[in-house]
A and B are shown apart, each in its own frame.
Chain A
């Protein structure tokens, strides 16, 4: 194994790994400050913050010969015998100079800057800078430049790391951003008439190490030190990007990508990034409701709010009476919820017809030059739900099959879990004509996020939870299962599906997705990999199946 010597400490790295000195030093617990380097972008070595001293240790004699100059750690590969010195007097002096230089033209408007609190310029200045300002003071300027529909640029705060420019060239491949002017007058800009409007544009805000690029959606909404963050998974499409939900007092403020080399690397798309507003939409369903008398023909009769305890008993009773049950398992439900739903349905009607719910789709997958893919399938867990249904019924039915089944009179009751975040102002996920298929049923249970043509026919109209309000496991289009915790509590009056089903199964205490997951893993080969604690980046279900015959 190659050995790298970081500040006198021997660190072994993998033989096949191609690490630079920043990454190698990180293994040893030494942080080398850097602005322009990012693992997902090309190396430019221009910020000069990561300058370190390096050398090589002779394998035979153990003699160390140092390079007589500072080298950028980002550009220097860590090989067997590489010596890295991260905090010599020369290195510290060089860092202090770079920090001082970066602040000469910086407005230092931290009190009104959104980045304050998570700004590398602040952090590094505190750690590596010098206390005294020696450059001339200049009038405070904070020019704001609109570079696109999602991003605004605070020109004076920029440290010219060019991460955003490289992102637009290398990852999104759209090249909207560029450097204009020269020397200290350099600025980031777009060409007139060609704004930064690609579907990955929000990532440049995450990439920006300082407060130069601001997210219009998040700007001035919340100070970052108030935010709590929860590792989560994006439900926007079948890619299942790893994200962090940042929230405060049960309000989501922003979503950020979470590094996952198997799924999304460091990026998420704007659709996912801004796809949380439905959680706090005023028009979402906020209470369980029942229509009395339970007759679908009397559509004019309004809904009446019911207690959840009554839902738990009433639902089972009504469905039992109606007998032949058909269930649509929404591809937005977690594996645990889907499994419990199937279990509940089969306990009510042992012959219950189980089908994967409606799968929203766009036209086609979109893959970007950097390898990032936005899937056409706009739901996070189709594969998971299909695998769960397969545990109960070898023939996995889909939404279209379910419609035919109901039309053919195969069912007298239906339980449609939906939870689609298409608000009333958008085009609803189901049209009137399709919804009418369910009109004649004895009992229709609809669990949805917003009112839709289908909820009009419902006897039980139950609110659904949003993605950040769930806990459980989703299986993405590449068969990777990722678990996540509940980030925020749903609004009062909303029970996440899992809680309702847990109670309907008659299990005690609070809904515990971990217990359900353990039970699924133990009882099925498909989900065997879900046993125990999963890594934050998830597991590939197929790989595990191959490994365990």
Chain B
């Protein structure tokens, strides 16, 4: 009896094993390497006005969001004339087949309500082909004066949810606004939104100003001023537009400053007795530290994101090249070995790349390389491109471009780190020396 049960049990197990082995098919293994690189088509019906009188604001906000996303080169708006249907209301059911039919891959719906001086913007983002919402809907509120910031914030969220990295639309740029001919150019510090809107001037043109640099928190600006006749470093408080000068000994020239990532240290160049070296000053204790000590010209220092290293330019090898040293000035190593001269290095916020200006064969380029100097890629080429600055997310580089000739003009441009989407940033006057600030809070 026992044997029969044992045999029966074994037979059942064997049968199951046989069935499983027959049905368990080895999965098909494939490797996908070839894709396409193109702008993602998205649809954004004009945000709905939830309150009478909000129509204009809804239209304006919708336009800014579309301009933000189109401006990245990563997205492409589908013309509203191609829309088959529109959402009846903000919370209504989305007819995804209508959006699939026009090949919209992302859909942004939203609504605006204006009540007195208060504006409320809410939106939702959909993945059309999955027929699902990407993240939850969000709502921003503020005063009517800040409507552009609310639009930029919507763009930041949409950008972030689709690309997987933070946006950069709700940010500001400080730069040197330039007017007048090349040989008599008036320069003022100016601050603007990332897209060149809302320009405000921080200094007058009584003294030459150079190389403004935002602090990591965006509340202060370092810049070089010639108001005393010699280059000195000023620290400007953005909120009060008041400034104070960093102490510099008589006869010394201080320039090319930059904040550390924590905002409490400044690295800069100090020229004394014909020699230019890099120094570091602690803004809390006031202590100075000399980081380089060579007869060469060393300038344009820039901290790594973690503050442990500094990249700078030096002509100690005979030509202008890029070097990296520790934040204490030791373990210096050269990282640029290509033809031409390298300068104005800036460490990316992500820490993986260094942007620079390169001069070679009579042309100027903006390029990027890895922190060990490999994988150098030149993104632009012109008569004069210089002064790169990173967007807060490390995806876009803004720089200054000057055209040739005595009547040449200066302007600001931006380019994606892939080298695509070169765009001019429209400013009221010419501009140079841009410094991109952090995302506003």
A and B held together in a complex:
no
**B interface list, Cβ under 8 A from A:** none
